[in-house]
Amino acid sequence: MAAKQNNEQAANRKVIGKLLLAVVAMFGFGFALVPLYDVFCAVTGLNGKTGSQVADFKNMQLDDSRTIKVEFLASLNEQMPWEFKSLQDSIIVHPGQPAKVDFIAKNKTGKDMIGQAIPSVSPGIAASYFQKTECFCFTEQLLKAGEEKVMPVLFIVDPSISEDVREITLSYTFFIKPGTEEAGSRVKTSSVSKTSANHTN
């Protein structure tokens, strides 16, 4: 009788051990999904995410038979105590035509802070055709207390993009770097800033 109970207890311990191992594995897999999903989106353009690598325009041909309107949006994470806006609401470009737009960020706090801008393109199908040669989103941005910085974006729309795409929106959201959140609680900022000036090419 005692031997039978011992065998049952041993079997139960094995089952419990396997269940705990499965829980730990599932928990770890859940964390791994987030960076994997971000990488997948950046590579494929899914969900409007754009890559963080400098594009090569050498082999692109200008398509002057059509134009695309590119609009610009600038927003801030709720904890980010900066001002952030684009100097142009929109521009008109030909596919294959290099273009430039300037954004401005200002640190409204009394301490140095670091931010990271995350880009997004809509419609999502256009993300993989929206290529950048220069962008402040490629690296973290350090702004000293009260500093204002003009940050250019150089881009080109791949001429192989579908002719059905006539408008593209490029959006940036600035996030505060972890460790500097304390300053963010002292200054209230609007979540979205946009200039009223219009500019077309």
**What was the pLDDT predicted at 177?**
86
pLDDT of residue 178: 81
> Residue 179 has what pLDDT?
74
Would you state the pLDDT for residue 20?
A: 56
Second-level CATH architecture of 68-193 = Sandwich (2.60)
Please list the ranges in the chain whose pLDDT falls under 50: 23-48, 51-54, 184, 187-201
Q: What is the pLDDT of residue 60?
A: 81
pLDDT digits (tens, 9 = 90+) for 66-101: 999 999 999 999 889 999 999 999 999 999 999 999
In DSSP notation, 105-152 reads EEE-SSS-EEEEEEEEEESGGGGGGEEEEE-GGGS-EEE-TT-EEEEE
- What is the reported pLDDT for 10? 61
